[in-house]
Amino acid sequence: QKEVEQNSGPLSVPEGAIASLNCTYSDRGSQSFFWYRQYSGKSPELIMSIYSNGDKEDGRFTAQLNKASQYVSLLIRDSQPSDSATYLCAVNTGFQKLVFGTGTRLLVSP
Amino acid sequence: SQTIHQWPATLVQPVGSPLSLECTVEGTSNPNLYWYRQAAGRGLQLLFYSVGIGQISSEVPQNLSASRPQDRQFILSSKKLLLSDSGFYLCAWAPWGQGNTDTQYFGPGTRLTVL
């Protein structure tokens, strides 16, 4: 059973702080990794994808991948109340399918 | 640009009634298509996926079925709904031929309540 694990939270951070979201996966052969944001009652929207070890930055978001340790993280700098949402980690383990974690709920307080 | 549509947006159905949810994608050809269910407070469960017309793979044995009658149309059906079928149903598409970099994009979802 291929698994993706996330802490359910909530992770509470003050406005302007850095939020750090983590994800571990079980399939060592995984090749691509994704972070989605889901607001309450809405569908997931893609934030970032990462395929190689290291960091990938896009605006206030940085994805970090460490295949040896089998973890992916998402850093959100200068967190805003509008960042309050559930963040889903997804891993492509081949066969054109993604396995999703259950998500981490982030709360950013003004 | 590509757009994905789902309807209806919300649905309330009695136990034992049939179900038909529709998903269509615009602006792309031969996409991979996916149906997920998200129960309240839980993660995304992959139900079906399709890599082409008439090609359906089932992930979870249950009373649901899927069909792909046209390239960009994906339908989720049930003959008799159960209480446990309640949830948020999401359709997603991925560009064809991406190999291991299958980025999926989600539609707006259908919220189904079975009473």
What pLDDT, in 10s, does the model give residues B8-66?
999 999 999 999 999 999 999 899 999 999 987 778 999 999 999 999 999 886 899 99
* B79 Cβ contact partners less than 8 Å away, ≥ 6 residues apart: B18, B63
* C-beta neighbour count of B2 within 10 angstroms: 12
**Contact in structure between A3 and A30 (CB atoms under 8 Å):** no
| pLDDT computed for residue A31 by the predictor | 87
Q: So what's the pLDDT on residue B16? A: 96
The shortest C-alpha distance from A39 to chain B (Å) reads: 12
Confidence of residue A1 (pLDDT cuts 50, 70, 90): low
Is the separation of the CB atoms in B33 and B47 below 8 Å? no
Q: Which of A31, A44, A94 sits opposite B106 (nearest CB)?
A: A44
Question: B49: nearest CA in chain A?
Answer: A97
Q: How far apart are the first and last CA of chain B?
A: 38
- Name the minimum distance, in Å, from the CA of A80 to any CA of chain B: 23
Burial class from Cβ neighbours inside 10 Å (0-12, 13-18, 19+) for residue B58 reads middle
Return all residues near B32 (Cβ < 8 A) that are at least 6 apart: A96, B49, B50, B51, B93, B94, B95, B96, B102
pLDDT value at residue B101: 53
pLDDT at B40: 79
Q: Confidence band (pLDDT; 50, 70, 90) for A93?
A: confident
Average model confidence (pLDDT) across chain A: 94
Nearest CA to B114 among B9, B8, B12, B35? B12
Q: Which residue of chain B has the CA closest to A87?
A: B43
Q: In A, residues 40-99, which contact B (CB 8 Å cutoff)?
A: 41-46, 49, 51, 88, 90, 92, 94, 96-98
Q: Name which of B32, B37, B44, B48 to mutate to probe chain A: the one with the most chain A Cβ atoms within 10 A of its Cβ.
A: B44
Please give the structure tokens belonging to residue A58.
Answer: 């896009």
CA distance B101 to chain A (A): 6
Q: What single-letter amino acid sits at A53?
A: N
